[in-house]
């Protein structure tokens, strides 16, 4: 089933779209199965779970950290993560800058925007984006590679509205020059809405259930 799902998605998307296989809560053998099919980009959202998998799986995997990142956990990601998707505050930026400078490493980051202004979700408010960009410009150990959002659950019209808002922000940032900031990746779209996201300009999608099947949480508890 996993191989059918993976090949189906790969056939549906452009070669210019980065597919992140969201492997949170998945077993090592499930990840290995997708790896054998050619996948090299995987996403995790909890630091401890990521570290365990990082130690057990091939070193040519490009790991994406896609969950909310607490400042006290940043140190565990240095030198291990290809891209952090969840920069959402100047406070977190400064901790990433400090920890990566200590190891003489550069952190590749996406700014997470709370495009739906949802209280239950993390991400920076659009009104605070400019201040965060300015703070990024004075850093020495970070590179902003794009922006990311998890949009509110809704119908197709609602999805398109939020995706198009993100694309507008992406395009505006792309035409302006800021030190340490480039707009390479627009990370939008998950299993239920990735096709709409792609139609609205996303070039990086984060898929879990579409590849691995629906999660069996009982299986992951033991």
pLDDT at 217 over 90: no
Whether 214 has a pLDDT exceeding 90, the answer reads no
Q: Give the Cα separation of 135 and 190 in Å (integer).
A: 29
Q: Where are the domains of the chain?
A: 2-221
Structure confidence at residue 222 (pLDDT): 33
CATH number for the domain formed by residue range(s) 2-221: 3.20.20.10
DSSP letter, residue 151: P
Instruction: Give the global pTM.
Output: 0.94
- For 120-161, how does the pLDDT look when each residue is reduced to its tens digit (9 = 90+)? 899 999 999 999 999 999 999 999 999 999 999 999 999 999
Find the largest Cα–Cα distance for the chain.
Answer: 50
- Token pair recorded at residue 67: 């969950």
Q: For the chain, percent helix, then strand, then coil, each to nearest 5?
A: 45, 20, 35
The H-or-E segment that residue 20 falls in is strand 18-22
């Amino acid at each position: 089933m996993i191989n059918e799902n993976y090949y189906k998605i790969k056939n549906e998307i452009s070669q210019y779209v980065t597919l992140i296989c969201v492997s949170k809560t998945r077993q090592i053998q499930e990840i290995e199965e997708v790896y054998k099919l050619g996948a090299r980009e995987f996403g995790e959202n909890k630091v401890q779970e990521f570290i365990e998998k990082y130690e057990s799986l091939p070193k040519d995997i490009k790991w994406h950290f896609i969950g909310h990142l607490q400042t006290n956990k940043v140190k565990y990601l240095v030198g291990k993560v290809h891209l952090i998707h969840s920069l959402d505050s100047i406070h977190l930026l400064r901790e990433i800058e400090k920890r990566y400078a200590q190891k003489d490493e550069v952190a590749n980051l996406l700014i997470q925007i709370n495009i739906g202004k949802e209280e239950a979700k993390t991400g920076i408010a659009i009104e605070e984006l400019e201040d965060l960009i300015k703070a990024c410009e004075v850093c020495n150990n970070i590179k902003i590679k794009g922006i990311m959002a998890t949009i509110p659950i809704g119908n197709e019209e609602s999805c398109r509205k939020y995706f198009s808002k993100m694309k507008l922000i992406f395009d505006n940032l792309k035409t302006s020059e800021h030190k340490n900031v480039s707009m390479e990746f627009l990370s939008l779209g998950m299993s239920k809405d990735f096709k709409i996201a792609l139609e609205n300009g996303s070039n990086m999608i984060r898929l879990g259930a579409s590849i691995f099947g629906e999660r069996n949480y009982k299986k992951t508890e033991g």
